[in-house]
């Protein structure tokens, strides 16, 4: 299977770093967030990626162009114009990088990469990580009659939850898991026919396409109750970095 990754947005809420690079290239533990996402897919046997580029897409192109050099010890023979790699640690990835427009919305970006897709594919955002069991997600989708399946998550609350009775706090829970509701956590599995739900106008995937799938009972759901987090702000970035530095990042399932 292929995995499509949205990597073209401006990342305005994390402009402290995104003014220099696209959000998926902001590093956690010395590696771009998109690398963490791709490692998750690779662990589940998905090694072919189609990346939707937009804002500062050349930064992502350069990263993958230089990946083998930056991941290996090398000997550069200037006299003979040759490069020898030592102790290669190269990922088994095939990466297609597609310029989908600097200002395009998410649905339009997906439609623009349709010529590079085969059939069933995975689809996610370039700013979310989690220990989602992608193999189980794909099996769940295959067993359904839907043409798209979304991973639903219950993100942690940002604030402590107080239970109050007669002006007395009777319970305190630090950062509870949501309020019982489920939200779109990305990590979709889709049939290629979902492209037919994206019209000619510039449109967000989360708008008309998903609404039309819901209306036609074609959007399934896979509930993920493990770790999930998105990186929208510097606070989110610092939180993920702090988790990574413990050596026990929940999404680091490949080791």
Tens digit of each residue's pLDDT (9 = 90 or more) over 96-148: 999 999 999 999 999 999 999 989 999 999 999 999 999 999 999 999 989 99
What structural domains does the chain harbor?
2-245 (3.90.550.10)
Q: What is the C-alpha separation between 151 and 121, in angstroms, rounded?
A: 14
Mean pLDDT of 75-82: 92
Tens digit of each residue's pLDDT (9 = 90 or more) over 190-241: 999 999 999 999 999 999 999 999 999 999 999 999 999 999 999 999 999 9
Q: What is the C-alpha separation between 44 and 208, in angstroms, rounded?
A: 31
Q: Categorize the per-residue pLDDT at 178 as very low, low, confident or very high, splitting at 50, 70 and 90.
A: low
What DSSP assignment string belongs to 183-228?
Answer: EE---EEE-GGGGGGS-SS---TTTHHHHHHHHTT-EEEEE--S-E
| pTM > 0.85: yes or no | yes
Mean pLDDT of 158-179: 69
Q: Categorize the per-residue pLDDT at 175 as very low, low, confident or very high, splitting at 50, 70 and 90.
A: low
pLDDT at 69: 81
Q: What is the C-alpha separation between 180 and 161, in angstroms, rounded?
A: 13
Most confident of 85-94, 155-164, 218-227: 218-227
Length of the chain: 255
For CA atoms 179, 216, 204, 38, the dihedral sign is positive
SS3 state at 246: coil
């Amino acid at each position: 299977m292929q995995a499509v990754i949205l990597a073209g947005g401006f990342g305005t809420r994390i402009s402290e770093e995104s003014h220099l690079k696209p959000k998926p290239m902001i590093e956690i533990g010395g590696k771009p967030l998109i690398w963490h996402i791709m490692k998750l897919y690779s662990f589940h046997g998905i090694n072919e990626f189609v990346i939707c580029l937009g804002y500062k897409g050349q930064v992502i192109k350069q990263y993958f162009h230089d990946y083998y050099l930056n991941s290996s010890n090398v000997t550069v023979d200037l006299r003979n114009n040759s490069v020898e790699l030592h102790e290669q640690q190269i990922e088994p990835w095939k990466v297609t990088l597609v310029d989908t427009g600097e200002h395009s919305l998410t649905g339009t970006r997906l439609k623009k990469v349709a010529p590079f897709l085969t059939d069933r594919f995975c689809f996610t955002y370039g700013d979310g990580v989690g220990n989602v069991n992608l193999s189980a997600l794909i099996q769940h989708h295959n067993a359904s009659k839907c043409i798209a399946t979304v991973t639903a998550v219950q993100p942690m609350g940002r604030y402590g939850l107080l239970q109050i009775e007669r002006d007395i706090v009777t319970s305190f829970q630090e950062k509870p898991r949501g309020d019982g509701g489920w939200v779109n956590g990305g990590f979709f599995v889709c049939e290629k026919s979902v492209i037919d739900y994206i019209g000619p106008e510039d449109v967000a995937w989360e708008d008309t396409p998903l609404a039309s799938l819901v209306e036609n009972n074609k959007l399934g759901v896979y509930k993920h109750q493990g770790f999930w987090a998105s990186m929208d702000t510097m606070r989110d970035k610092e939180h993920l970095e702090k988790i990574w530095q413990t050596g026990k990042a929940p999404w680091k399932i490949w080791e």
